[in-house]
């Protein structure tokens, strides 16, 4: 019991006291920072309905893809970053991968995934894959934004 009361008194004393007094001298300055600025670039691209190409995975399942040619991406591949977005309206965009669950008027359900990859030699490839691998038509026209940072 005595230990509990002593502990309460010590905690209360610590909480109620303050550290006041003269401020000490300023410490030495740190090392100079870099004057380098980050490089960045944004590229908007449109993939029209007829631009999509059909391909198949190792199991014969269908997906669509489209590759855009951008200048050499080696600096970004080695020490930068590349982000891609899909414009979903004139004032909204979604970072990829973009995944949406769908159902048609007949009760068929599937998940559509839009993702991307990029290569050192300058290609950004967008992919559209449906979970049921059923594509009655091409994915349609889509608008993308690619952000390069290095």
Average pLDDT, the chain: 86
pLDDT tens track for 131-143: 988 877 889 999 9
Contacts 24+ apart (CB under 8 A), 109-117: 110/134, 112/139, 114/86, 114/142, 116/84
Calpha distance 143→81 (Å, rounded): 20
Residue 24 pLDDT more than 90?
no
Q: What's the confidence (pLDDT) of residue 115?
A: 98
DSSP-H helix ranges across 37-143: 74-79
Q: What confidence tier does 12 reach under pLDDT thresholds 50, 70, 90? A: low
Q: Are the beta carbons of 54 and 62 closer than 8 angstroms?
A: yes
pLDDT tens track for 34-81: 666 678 899 999 999 999 999 998 998 899 999 999 988 988 999 999
Calpha distance 137→142 (Å, rounded): 14
């Amino acid at each position: 019991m005595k230990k509990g009361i002593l502990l309460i008194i010590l905690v209360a004393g610590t909480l109620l006291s303050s550290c006041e007094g003269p401020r000490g001298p300023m410490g030495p300055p740190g090392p100079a920072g870099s004057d380098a600025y980050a490089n960045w670039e944004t590229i908007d691209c449109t993939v029209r309905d007829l631009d999509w190409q059909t391909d198949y995975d190792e199991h014969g399942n269908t997906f669509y893809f489209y590759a855009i040619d951008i200048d050499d991406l080696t600096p970004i591949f080695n020490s930068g970053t590349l982000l891609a977005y899909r414009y979903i309206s004139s004032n909204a965009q979604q970072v990829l991968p973009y995944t949406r669950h769908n159902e048609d008027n007949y009760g068929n359900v599937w998940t559509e995934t839009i993702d991307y990859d990029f290569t050192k030699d300058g290609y950004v490839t967008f992919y559209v894959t449906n979970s049921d691998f059923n594509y009655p038509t091409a994915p349609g026209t889509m608008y993308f934004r690619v952000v390069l940072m290095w």
